[in-house]
Amino acid sequence: MTDREIALRYGCNPHQVPARMYRDGGDLPFKVLNGSPGYINMLDALNSWQLVRELKQALDLPAAASFKHVSPAGAAVGVPLSDVLKKAYFVDDIELSDLTMAYARARGADRVSSYGDWAALSDKIDVPTAHLIRREMSNGVIAPGCDEEALAILKQKMDGKYTVIEIDPDYEPPELETREVFGVGFEQKRNDLVVTPTLFENIVTANRELPESAIRDLVVATIALKYTQSNSVCFAVDGQVIGLGAGQQSRIHCTRLAGEKADRWFLRQHPDILGLRWRKGISRPERNNAIDLCFEERLTPPERQSWEAAFRDIPPRLNSEEKHGWLATMTGISLSSDAFFPFRDSIDRASQSGVKYVVEPGNSARDQDVIAACNEYGMVMAFSGTRFFHH
């Protein structure tokens, strides 16, 4: 192997060998500090790195992403965590740097989906963040560097096989990008459009009050969409993604999926959930799965057995009235859509999950119906005029 190529364990599947990464006309912009990456690992790494780099550039805060199957399970910037979120994210017992808080938020968006994630960090990996990564179920991390002590911590993970990638923060790819599908080459201009608050200036609703916190959250949601498999809709609040509906064939299904994830994110903060008493030896992934089952209306006998086995004292399950009562207090959520809403149904669903601020490209035949729906709910909506498909 040379600096212009590396061998990969296999391609998308174990039977797809050989596999490699290479670059014509220059060295690869990264190096492997530990482990042996796979094909999907590196797709996640390079997509997630672009996301956190852009978040850092846009908001001047440390940024992190938790990637699975070439889409973010979560993304966030390093906004301080409340005591409630520290407990909900299982980080109330460790030191938290700004970078650690960004990754805790990114992983906290959807902890079940983040199981076995690829982590991306905008800044050099510090010791507190390495400690958090070490105890989560993660397959690798990409960052612009790693403290010597932090690298030693990460090398203890997965029997020494945890993958750590150091990316050159100054690397810029060519303007044109190419790919091959079924022996046919594709070429296009790279999507280098910069997401800034100017995208949210064309407000089309009666309510025009867009606070700075909502602008920040719309930036987070929109940059996350830029690296999410389309169609996609993203909910964000407090500097982090809380629900992302990715890769759906209809806009309403994107919104329903994102809304359901946002609801589960908020339900994890219910006092009854925060007060759960765990049986000794229950791992973090097992806790995540058990909490997720707390929100299901019905459990199969195997699910109930698994759920009950997690607790020291079997807790009462949240009933429908309790869940809806708690969710009714969720508000101030920002929503970004990678393409226009063809019907008002997505706005109706978004309103059920506390959405107050919306950005979408506009230019649908039913724009007026969508605007009218936002006005009914007192939402602020901006037309960005920009589509963010990613395939």
pLDDT digits 0-9 by tens, 351-375: 999 999 999 999 999 999 999 999 9
Sign of the Cα torsion 74, 76, 79, 80 reads: positive
Section 90-99 average pLDDT: 97
231 is known as an active-site residue: yes
pLDDT, tens digit, 9 for 90 and up, residues 207-224: 999 999 999 999 999 999
Q: Find out whether 140 and 162 touch, Cβ atoms under 8 Å.
A: yes
2: pLDDT confidence band, cut at 50, 70 and 90? Answer: low
Q: In this prediction, what percent of the chain has a pLDDT beyond 90?
A: 94
Is there a shared CATH topology between the 5-167 domain and the 191-267+331-383 domain?
yes
What whole-number distance in Å separates Cα of residue 357 and Cα of residue 331?
A: 10
pLDDT of residue 313: 87
Q: In this prediction, what percent of the chain has a pLDDT beyond 70?
A: 99
What whole-number distance in Å separates Cα of residue 182 and Cα of residue 251?
A: 28
Q: Which CATH superfamily is domain 5-167 in?
A: AICAR transformylase, duplication domain (3.40.140.20)
390 is known as an active-site residue: no
pLDDT, tens digit, 9 for 90 and up, residues 30-55: 999 999 999 999 999 999 999 999 99
Domain definitions of the chain by residue range = 5-167, 191-267+331-383, 271-317
Q: Which residues pair with 65 in a beta bridge?
A: 75, 120
pLDDT, tens digit, 9 for 90 and up, residues 226-267: 999 999 999 999 999 999 999 999 999 999 999 999 999 999
69 is known as an active-site residue: yes
Smallest CA-to-CA distance from 72 within 102, 39, 114, 38 is with: 114
pTM of the predicted protein model: 0.96
pLDDT of residue 297: 84
CATH class of residue range 191-267+331-383: alpha beta
317: pLDDT confidence band, cut at 50, 70 and 90? Answer: confident
* 286 pLDDT above the threshold of 90: yes
Task: Tell me if residue 371 falls in helix, strand or coil.
Answer: helix
* 1 pLDDT above the threshold of 60: no
**376 contacts: CB under 8 Å, gap ≥ 6:** none
Q: How, if at all, do strands 5-7 and 20-22 pair? A: antiparallel
What whole-number distance in Å separates Cα of residue 291 and Cα of residue 289?
A: 5
Q: Of the listed 34, 41, 47, 231, which one is catalytic? A: 231
Q: Of the listed 34, 47, 56, 68, which one is catalytic? A: 68
Section 275-292 average pLDDT: 94
